[in-house]
Amino acid sequence: MSSKVTEIKHPIIEHKLTYLRDERTDSSEFRRIVVELTKFLAFEATKDLELYDDEVKTPIAIAKVKKVKNPPIIVSIMRAGNGMLDSMLTLLPYCSAGHIGIYRDKFINNTVEYYFKLPEVVEGKDVLLIDPLLATGDTAIASIDRLKQYKVGRIKLLTILTCPTGIKRLHHFHPEVEIITLSAEEGLNEKGYLVPGLGDAGDRLFGTK
């Protein structure tokens, strides 16, 4: 696997992925598990955050502490990325958030953007881009294209599941982007779904078809 791909392995992750994959898991449980798994991705993605020294007064004495210096921006690829967003912001409440509404239209064989909103100041800021699945890579590539138009800093893609095809395509266009995932799947079926995967993440998150 590429040095730009980190696959997090942990027994708790494997256990929770079992229920995420299970077609019998309802939307409320699916959402809860996505929230829990997102925290594993967030911890890995933020382990190199820059810190600065500070002091606080405890009930006992003055403590020398460290705080995050340059918080990244969290950007959700809608709609499925929104299932991860609250979890990210709970863990990183000092971060601002953006949204990219984009989907692949099978009729025109291209991506379609329907919403784009970033915080006011983004130039040079690192971005944590979130989407539960990296399958064909089309929406992630288009989202990164748009982010680069705003001259953001480093971009990391946080995704629960991915596959060799998606990784290869994304790194063909954006080789510097780090991908952090919980499982690299076997591949894609003829409809572009991850195999074995978990189905359509957006539908399962929000109870739609």
Query: What pLDDT score was predicted for residue 108?
Result: 64
Sorted by where each begins, the domain ranges of the chain are: 5-206
Query: What pLDDT score was predicted for residue 110?
Result: 76
- Of 18, 17, 29, give the one whose Cα is nearest residue 182: 17
Query: What pLDDT score was predicted for residue 74?
Result: 98
E strand or H helix at 162: strand 155-162
In DSSP notation, 118-171 reads --S--TT--EEEE-SB-SS-HHHHHHHHHHHHTT---EEEEEEEE-HHHHHHHH
Write down the pTM of the prediction. Answer: 0.93
The residue whose two tokens read 């929770």 is: 16
Average pLDDT of the residues in 112-128: 94
The residue whose two tokens read 């809860």 is: 32
Query: What pLDDT score was predicted for residue 207?
Result: 87
Query: What pLDDT score was predicted for residue 1?
Result: 63
pLDDT at residue 112 greater than cutoff 70 = yes
Q: Which residues pair with 170 in a beta bridge?
A: none
Spatial distance between the Cα atoms of 112 and 109, rounded to a whole number of angstroms: 10
Kindly state the percentage of the chain with pLDDT values over 70.
98
Q: Give tens-digit pLDDT for 134-190.
A: 999 999 999 999 999 999 999 999 999 999 999 999 999 999 999 999 999 999 998
Q: Considering the domain delimited by 5-206, tell me its CATH architecture.
A: 3-Layer(aba) Sandwich (3.40)
Average pLDDT of the residues in 43-62: 96
Q: Give tens-digit pLDDT for 57-102.
A: 999 999 999 999 999 999 999 999 999 999 999 999 999 999 999 8
pLDDT at residue 55 greater than cutoff 70 = yes
Q: How far is CA 19 from CA 33, 159, 195, in A?
A: 8, 17, 16
pLDDT at residue 109 greater than cutoff 80 = no
196 prior amide bond cis, ω within 30: yes
